[in-house]
């Protein structure tokens, strides 16, 4: 081949490579991932007289550790801010956790603030701005109130007891349980892996009679209360990344009061770990972010010191605000 021919061949070769590289990206439809997620945790109003000297609102440290163990950081969200401030926070965080506790689910500040974030999350997800919400115990109850537009809870006491879940046929195909092994799913249905500490809940009958709830949620499990009422213990939204558990996955690894039936078996620990990782993985799909590293750092739970609270309802540590 002549020098002229060789030069033309080389030029054509590199031109082809250049065009092909532009036409065929190495990552097709690669979904963006946020590797520095921040999950907001809505604080609870202090109602216990023993706790009042420490602050107005609180978060048990077990919830913080639970979220952090999944690979996220935590931002505490107070109940005393303006709507504009909550809207600003929403644009910074990558998910929201409604914790358990005690509050009026229609008239309290907790309910008011939760509704603001819930409405923002609905609108964001509708326009393709992914934003997950998780509700634990009262947090799950709150989600049902927000969806139904009314409080439909009834007495379903399951206090200080660990239970297996009565999984529905939809559980195997759910997003929440998708990462659980066959062994762990079997254990979940047969072993007491879920700690229950509640007096109210949503019965399956009430759910089935309410069109709003049926259209919004898929029931993943049920359980039987002390009064024989069949209550919903796990659910997830059909079209939104919203999840609820009537039980407490955080206690399996982070609460140890001997007087309380916290499940600490190997399978219980695995369950807690997998669900924390699942929810944080959902948070990674949110691309919300703080405006600066300084704003980021000043907003996180690291700026607060938990109080040892051995006598506070089974909590070893509590953050007060």
Q: pLDDT tens digits for 226-263? A: 999 999 999 999 999 999 999 999 999 999 999 999 99
The predicted model scores a pTM of 0.89
Just list the catalytic residues.
Answer: 137, 248
Smallest CA-to-CA distance from 171 within 98, 225, 229, 243 is with 243
**Is residue 7 very low, low, confident or very high in pLDDT (cuts 50, 70, 90)?**
very low
Q: Where are the beta strands (DSSP E) in 49-201?
A: 57-60, 73-77, 96-98, 133-136, 154-163, 166-167, 194-201
Q: Is 149 helix (H, G, I), strand (E, B) or coil?
A: coil
When pLDDT is averaged across residues 32-42 and rounded to a whole number, the result is 95
Ranges of beta strands (E only) in 51-140 are 57-60, 73-77, 96-98, 133-136
pLDDT grade for 45, boundaries at 50, 70 and 90: very high
What is the C-alpha separation between 207 and 321, in angstroms, rounded? Answer: 36
Sheet holding 44-45, edge to edge: 44-45, 57-60, 315-320, 307-312
- Note the pLDDT of residue 219: 98
Over the stretch 279-315, which tens digit does the pLDDT of each residue have?
999 999 999 999 999 999 999 999 999 999 776 667 8
pLDDT of residue 312: 67
pLDDT digits (tens, 9 = 90+) for 145-201: 999 999 999 999 999 999 999 999 999 999 999 999 999 999 999 999 999 999 999
- 76-109 confidence digits (pLDDT tens): 999 999 999 999 999 999 999 999 999 999 999 9
**Per-residue pLDDT band at 2 (split at 50, 70, 90):** very low
Give residue limits of the domains in the chain: 38-320
Query: Looking at residue 6, what is its pLDDT?
Result: 42
Residue 29 binned pLDDT confidence (cut-offs 50, 70, 90) = very low
Confidence of residue 47 (pLDDT cuts 50, 70, 90): confident
Q: What pLDDT does residue 28 have?
A: 36
Residue 196 contacts residue 157 (beta carbons within 8 Å): no
Tell me the two tokens of residue 159. 């206090």
Residue, of 264 and 33, whose pLDDT is higher: 264
DSSP, res 107: T
**Predicted confidence band at 14 (pLDDT cuts at 50, 70, 90)?**
very low
Helix (H) or strand (E) holding 38: strand 38-42
The per-residue pLDDT for 9 is: 42
Name the residue with tokens 């999944």.
70
Q: How far is CA 235 from CA 77, 204, 245, 266, in A?
A: 24, 11, 7, 24
Strands 315-320 and 57-60, how do they pair?
A: antiparallel
DSSP assignment of 187-238 equals HHHHS--EEEEEEEE-BHHHHHH-HHHHHHEEEEEEEE-TTS-EEEEEEEES
| Token pair 């259209």 in the structure block, residue | 215
Residue 8 pLDDT level (bands cut at 50, 70, 90): very low
At residue 3 the predicted structure's pLDDT band, cuts being 50, 70 and 90, is: very low
Show the tokens assigned to 22: 């532009």
The CATH architecture to which 38-320 belongs is 3-Layer(aba) Sandwich (3.40)
């Amino acid at each position: 081949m002549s020098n002229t021919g060789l030069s033309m061949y080389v030029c054509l070769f590199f031109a082809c490579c250049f065009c092909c590289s532009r036409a065929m990206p190495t990552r097709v439809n690669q979904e963006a991932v946020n590797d520095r997620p921040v999950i907001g945790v809505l604080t609870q109003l202090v109602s216990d007289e023993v706790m009042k000297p420490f602050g107005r609102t609180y978060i048990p440290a077990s919830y913080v550790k639970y979220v952090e163990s999944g690979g996220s950081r935590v931002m505490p969200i107070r109940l005393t801010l303006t709507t504009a401030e909550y809207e600003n926070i929403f644009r910074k965080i990558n998910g929201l956790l409604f914790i358990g506790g005690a509050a009026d689910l229609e008239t309290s500040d907790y309910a008011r603030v939760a509704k603001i974030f819930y409405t923002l999350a609905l609108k964001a997800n509708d326009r393709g701005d992914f934003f997950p919400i998780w509700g634990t115990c009262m947090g799950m109850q709150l989600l049902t109130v927000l969806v139904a537009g009314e409080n439909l809870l009834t007495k379903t006491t399951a206090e200080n007891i660990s239970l297996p879940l009565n999984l529905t046929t939809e559980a195997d195909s759910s997003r929440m349980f998708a990462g659980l092994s066959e062994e762990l799913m079997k254990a979940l249905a047969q072993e007491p892996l879920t700690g229950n500490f509640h007096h109210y809940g949503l019965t399956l009958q009430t759910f089935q009679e309410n069109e709003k709830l049926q259209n919004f949620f898929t029931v993943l499990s049920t359980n039987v209360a002390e009064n024989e009422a069949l209550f919903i213990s796990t659910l997830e939204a059909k079209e939104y990344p919203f999840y609820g558990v009537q039980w407490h996955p955080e206690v399996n690894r982070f609460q140890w009061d001997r007087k309380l039936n916290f499940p600490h078996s190997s399978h219980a620990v695995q369950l807690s770990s997998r669900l924390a990782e699942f929810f944080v993985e959902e948070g990674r799909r949110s691309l919300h972010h703080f405006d600066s590293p300084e704003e980021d750092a000043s907003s996180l739970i690291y700026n607060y010191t938990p109080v040892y609270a051995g006598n506070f309802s089974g909590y070893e540590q509590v953050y007060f605000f």
